[in-house]
Structure 1
């Protein structure tokens, strides 16, 4: 079974085709920073570039959407803090069929060794490596467990991502405290 058998693909809009205007609705652009925040379920609000346009924007994110970055090769579920962001042609929205859990799909695309190997072996470009929608569509999936097992795997994966993020935040805060104490001692 290939990924296209269980997923529909919606490419982002090319940003260069959007005509900017001074007085028009404002759209934040979904970026790699936003993707990383969503992957670890960070509560930080990192606003990236934005565009004002009166053009019709078809590729806006919704909470829970699955986006795949054609640049980094990572999949993510969009968090509520990135609701309504404009995703460009560097991203593909994946809409899963009912037999696939969305969190499990993110785990599969990001962590399964066979999937990662297929993605790595078919990178395109000589200077800037980029994934393509076609190679994503043609990914051969491993044996997929039943839906209840998919939900368990997906939940554990997302909880582990959140735990890793929280541990990193604690380590960063601890380092700041220690460096501040060292600074105070060294000034004496």
Structure 2
């Protein structure tokens, strides 16, 4: 079966059509970025950058906590954390709404790690001059028969914990390197 038979896909607002407003009573939004997606996948703050802001009266698409978001740029998926709830997402991102047949965390695991899905996405990019995925490619992904929902939940939970653990280990390694380099500098 195809992914679009299991989920609903919602494309973000076209960024070039959003008009900036100078009226201070208009809402201000933070743009969702690739770094935000990486943080959501890791389950922790990774970057110290300030998000890009826009004030607009336009009707825009925003993220909600626990939304599954897929980047058409990187081909990665994550679940939106409370930190990024309310962020404006552009046409570079797709929000995927699952039904009762698919666990959100399991879907993130499938999109990020399943070799058959990765192969389909890679093959669909062949011949492209710009390496960017499309909604059509995502919609038409062939999905193998899914395990029962209770098994999906276990796999999804373990995957998300593994992503968090990996981010912690990488942070620890960076900090240890920084500490050693600082001590070398002091010894010099």
Task: Please indicate, yes or no, whether the TM-score normalized by the shorter chain is above 0.5.
Answer: yes
Are residue 11 (structure 1) and residue 11 (structure 2) matched? Answer: yes
Partner of 2:50: 47
Partner of 2:179: 177
Tell me the secondary structure at the aligned position of residue 10 of structure 2.
strand
Q: CA deviation at 1:15?
A: 1.0
Give me the whole-angstrom Cα distance separating, in 2, the residues matched to 1:60 and 1:38.
Answer: 15
Q: Which runs of 5+ in 1 are unaligned?
A: none
Q: CA deviation at 1:107?
A: 0.2
Give me the whole-angstrom Cα distance separating, in 2, the residues matched to 1:84 and 1:26.
Answer: 10
Give me the whole-angstrom Cα distance separating, in 2, the residues matched to 1:162 and 1:2.
Answer: 29
Q: CA deviation at 1:75?
A: 0.8
Q: CA deviation at 1:43?
A: 3.2
Partner of 1:167: 169
Give me the whole-angstrom Cα distance separating, in 2, the residues matched to 1:7 and 1:124.
Answer: 26
Partner of 1:88: 90
Give me the whole-angstrom Cα distance separating, in 2, the residues matched to 1:40 and 1:46.
Answer: 16
Q: How many residues align?
A: 185
| Paired residues for 1:1-188 under 5 Å | 1-23=1-23, 24-44=26-46, 46-57=49-60, 59-123=61-125, 126-186=128-188
Give me the whole-angstrom Cα distance separating, in 2, the residues matched to 1:100 and 1:126.
Answer: 31
Give me the whole-angstrom Cα distance separating, in 2, the residues matched to 1:47 and 1:84.
Answer: 15
Q: CA deviation at 1:21?
A: 1.1
Tell me the secondary structure at the aligned position of residue 122 of structure 1.
helix
Give the TM-score of the pair, scaled to structure 2.
Answer: 0.94
Give me the whole-angstrom Cα distance separating, in 2, the residues matched to 1:145 and 1:62.
Answer: 27
Q: CA deviation at 1:127?
A: 3.3
Q: RMSD of aligned C-alpha atoms?
A: 1.3
